Structure 1
Amino acid sequence: MKKFFFLLTTLLISFCSIAQEHQLNSYLNKLYSADKIMASVSVAKNGKINFEKAYGTLSYKTKEAQQVNEYTKYRVGSVTKMFTAVLVMQLVEEGKLSLETKLSKFYKDIPNSNKISIRQMLNHHSGISDFTKRGDYLVTRFDETTRSEMLARLSQSTPAFKPGEKAEYSNSNFVLLGYIIEDLTGMDYPLAVQRKITERIGLNDTYYGMDATPERNEATSFSLSTDGWKKLPETHLSIPGAAGGMVSTASDLAIFIHALFSGQLMSDASLEQMIKLEDGFGLGIFQYQTANEILYGHSGGIDGFGSILLYHPKTRTSVAVCANGVNTNLKDVGYNFFKITQGLGFEMPELNQVKIAKDKLVLYTGQFYSPELGKFLNIDHIDQTLMARLDGQSAFPLNPKKETQFTYDLYEVQIDYDELDGNFYNKVTLTQGTNVVVFERQ
Structure 2
Amino acid sequence: MRLSIVSSLFAGAALAAAAPVAAQSFTAAESAQVDTLVGEALAATGVPSASVTVVRGGKIAFAKAYGKQSETIATADIKTKYQIASVSKQFTAAAILLLRDEGKLSLDDTIAKYLPGITGGDRITIRQLLAHTSGLQDYWPQDFSFAAMATPTSPQGIVDRWARKPLDFEPGSQWQYSNTGYVVAGLIVEKLSGMELVPFLKNRLLDPLGIDAIDQDLATGKGYPQGYTRAALGPVKVETPPASGWLYAAGELSMSTPDLAKWDIARIERKGLPAKDWAEQEQAVKLTDGASTHYGLGVTLAEVKKRATVEHGGEAVGFLTTNRVFVEDKAAIVVAVNAWFGDAQSRIADGIGDILFPDRKTASTGLDETARTAMARKVYDQLREGMLDRAMLTEDANYYYTAGVQADYRDSLGSLGEPTAFATRGAPRLRGGFVVRGYVVSYGERKLNISTMSELGQDGRFEQFLVTPGS
Give the TM-score of the pair, scaled to structure 2: 0.74
Alignment of 1:225-244 (within 5 A): 226=233, 228-244=235-251
Q: Does the aligned pair in 1 maintain the 2:17–2:77 contact within 8 Å? A: yes
Of 135, 143, 149 in structure 2, the residue corresponding to residue 141 of structure 1 is 149
* Superposed displacement of residue 290, structure 1: 3.2
How far the C-alpha of 1:276 sits from its partner, in A, is: 1.3
AA aligned opposite 2:65: A
Correspondence 1:333 to 2:339? no
Q: Deviations over 1:309-351 (max 9, x none)?
A: 111112211110111124225334313212212333689xxxx
- CA distance change for structure 1 residues 251 and 112 in 2, over 3 Å: closer, same or farther? same
In the alignment, is the contact (CA less than 8 A) between 1:369 and 1:376 conserved in 2?
A: no
Q: Return the letter of the residue paired with 1:207.
A: I
* 1:3-14 map, 5 Å: 3=6, 6-11=15-20, 12-14=22-24
Alignment partners' CA distance in 2, 1:261 and 1:401: 49
Q: Which of 206, 220, 227 in structure 1 is aligned with 2:226?
A: 220
Query: Which residue identity does 2:108 align to in structure 1?
Result: E
Task: Give me the CA root mean square deviation.
Answer: 3.9
- Residues 146 and 238 of structure 1 are in contact (CA less than 8 Å); yes or no, is this contact kept in structure 2? yes
Alignment of 1:32 with 2:42, yes or no, is yes
Q: 1:137 to 1:57 in 2, by over 3 A?
A: closer
Cα displacement (A) at 1:367: 4.6
Give ranges in structure 1 of 5+ residues lacking alignment: 348-357, 388-398, 419-428
Q: Are the equivalent residues in 2 in contact too, given 1:368–1:440 (CA < 8 A)?
A: no
Aligned match of 1:414 in 438, 454, 458? Answer: 438
What's the counterpart of residue 54 of structure 1?
65
2:302 alignment partner AA: Y
Distance, in Å, in 2 between the alignment partners of 1:400 and 1:197 is: 53
Of 138, 157, 161, 1:130 maps to: 138
Contact 1:79-1:309 at 8 Å conserved across structures: yes
Give the SS at the match of 1:59: coil
- Label 1:66 to 1:329 Cα distance change in 2 as closer, same or farther (>3 A): closer
**1:6-405 alignment runs, 5 A limit:** 6-11=15-20, 12-37=22-47, 38-61=49-72, 66-132=74-140, 138-204=146-212, 206-215=213-222, 217-224=223-230, 226=233, 228-277=235-284, 278=286, 279-325=293-339, 326-328=341-343, 330-344=345-359, 361-362=384-385, 365-367=388-390, 369=392, 382-385=406-409, 403-405=420-422
Q: Is the 8 A contact 1:430 1:436 kept in 2?
A: no
Q: Which stretch has the larger CA shift, 400-409 or 293-302?
A: 400-409
Q: Which amino acid aligns with 1:252?
A: D
Change (3 A) 1:42 1:144: same
Aligned length: 401
The sequence identity of aligned pairs, in percent, is 20
Measure how far apart 1:137 and its partner are: 7.5
Q: Distance in 2 between matches of 1:36 and 1:408?
A: 22
Distance 2:202 2:308 in 1: 30
C-alpha distance in structure 2 between counterparts of 1:157 and 1:133, whole Å: 15
Cα offset, 1:24, TM superposition: 1.6
Shift of the 149–51 alpha-carbon distance from structure 1 to 2, 3 Å rule, reads same
Structure 1 pair 386–183 and aligned structure 2 pair: CA distance change class (3 A): farther
Which residue does 1:351 correspond to in 2? none
Task: Summarize deviations over 1:51-109 as a string: whole Å, max 9, x none.
Answer: 11212323235xxx645311111111101101101111111111111110110011120
| 1:176 to 1:253, Cα distance in 2 relative to 1, 3 A | same
Distance 1:401 1:436, change over 3 A: farther
Q: Per the alignment, in what secondary structure is the counterpart of residue 131 of structure 1?
A: coil
Tell me the distance in 1 between the aligned counterparts of 2:58 and 2:95: 20
Query: Could you tell me how far 1:138 is from its partner in structure 2?
Result: 1.6
- TM-score scaled by structure 1? 0.79
Q: Distance in 2 between matches of 1:214 and 1:181?
A: 29
Verify the 8 A CA contact 2:81 2:219 in the aligned structure 1: no
Q: Which amino acid aligns with 1:276?
A: Q
Distance (Å, rounded) in 2 between the aligned partners of 1:290 and 1:402: 33
In structure 1, C-alpha distance between the alignment counterparts of 2:417 and 2:62, rounded to whole Å: 32
Separation in structure 2 between the aligned mates of residue 364 and residue 403 of structure 1, nearest angstrom: 21
> What is residue 375 of structure 2 aligned with on the other side?
none
CA-CA distance at 1:237 after TM superposition: 4.1
SS at match of 1:2: helix
Q: How far is the alpha carbon of 1:368 from its aligned partner? A: 7.0
Change (3 A) 1:99 1:201: same
Please give the alpha-carbon distance, in whole angstroms, between the structure 2 residues aligned to 1:289 and 1:264: 23
Please say if residues 400 and 407 of structure 1, whose CA atoms lie closer than 8 Å, have aligned partners that are also in contact: no
Segments of 4+ moved more than 6 angstroms: 373-380, 406-409, 429-433, 435-438
2:386–2:407 Cα contact (<8 Å) kept: no
Higher helix proportion: 2
AA aligned to 2:245 is: S
Answer whether contact 2:386 2:410 (CA < 8 A) is retained: no
Counterpart Cα distance in 2 of 1:72 and 1:386:
35
- C-alpha distance 311-437 of structure 1, shift in aligned 2 (>3 A): farther
Structure 2 residue identity aligned to 1:52 = A
The residue aligned with 2:5 is 2
